[in-house]
Amino acid sequence: LGPTHPDTMNTLSNLSTFLSRRGAFEEAEASAREALDRRLQVYGPNHPKTLVSFNVMGFVYRKQGKNAEAEPYLRQALEASAVVLGVDHPDRIIYLINMGTLLSNLDRTVEAEEHFREAIERSERTLGPEHYLAVAARSTLGDHLLSQERYVDAIDVLEPAVPAARVTYATANEASLAVILYRLGRARRGAGRFEGAETALLEAHESLERLRGPEYSDTRDCVQALAELYDAWGESIGDDELRRRADTWRSRLETTPAGSDP
């Protein structure tokens, strides 16, 4: 096909994302760079495919924790897509979420929240609240708010995402629903809404253990969250039975070794 054939460049771009998620960052960075250079040569800087490569390049850097290096690539994709694709295009919504995640990593919390809320508004208005991008935007903003201990705000963002996610992930990607439930459970626990937290976290744990196994990091995080829930709940009302539940969940972490994520 040749090095500048569209299929070749697509393969390079997809390979870089795959390698990055596997932790093979050096190879991922090389593939992403090659795809970007070829697309710049063939299409120029403002073609939609080139914008995808800018986004992928930023993603690869962000996955390595190289947030300062990632920012110009993600910003280029976001700003150019508004002109090339339009402000409501699904690709631009993806770039909004990715930029928000980067800004959150950089502790630029106000800017990050603005990007997430714009992604929610545009995706729900143009694609509907049950579209996977709308659900992802709510889940990511909820996580951002949790990191600031803004528990009630996180609940307000995440609760509408749960029924939407049950539709969106009805036949596939059930683990994404479990992650939303986990985040909602943590938010409810932080706000002192213990019964609702228990409901969300138990469902999240059941799904994650069944789908990923007890050694998976998200499953272990959920076990830790359940132990913390029962600790806080038991302390708030002086209930030794709830404290014993906390110890039971905590013992799972001690008896189940951490494994490698898929």
The DSSP secondary structure of 179-236, one letter per residue, reads HHHHHHHHHHHHTT-HHHHHHHHHHHHHHHHHHH-TTSHHHHHHHHHHHHHHHHHHHH
Q: Is the pLDDT of residue 257 over 90?
A: no
| Predicted confidence (pLDDT) per residue in 202-214, tens digit | 999 999 999 999 9
Q: What is the mean pLDDT of the chain?
A: 95
Identify the pLDDT of residue 182: 99
Q: 177: domain range?
A: 173-262
What residue type is 64 in one-letter code?
A: Q
| Residue 98 in tokens | 């990715």
Q: Which residue has the tokens 């040749």?
A: 2
**For the chain, what is the domain count?**
1
Q: Is the pLDDT of residue 89 over 80?
A: yes
Pair 142, 184: CB distance under 8 Å: yes
Residue 237 domain flag? yes
- pLDDT higher at 3 or 248: 248
Q: CATH number, domain at 184? A: 1.25.40.10
Positive or negative: CA dihedral 233, 235, 239, 245:
positive
Rounded Cα gap, residues 172 and 94, in angstroms: 20
Separation of first and last alpha carbons in the chain: 32
- pLDDT higher at 4 or 38: 38
Residue 45 domain flag? no
Pair 137, 103: CB distance under 8 Å: no
Residue 111 domain flag? no
Q: Is the pLDDT of residue 260 over 80?
A: no
Residue 208 domain flag? yes
Residue 190 domain flag? yes
Residue 158 domain flag? no
Rounded Cα gap, residues 171 and 157, in angstroms: 24
Q: Determine the angle formed by the axes of helices 217-237 and 194-212, rounding to 10 degrees.
A: 160
What's the Cα-to-Cα distance from 62 to each of 70, 161, 177, rounded to whole Å?
Answer: 6, 26, 24
Residue 223 domain flag? yes
Residue 115 domain flag? no
| Predicted confidence (pLDDT) per residue in 116-128, tens digit | 999 999 999 999 9
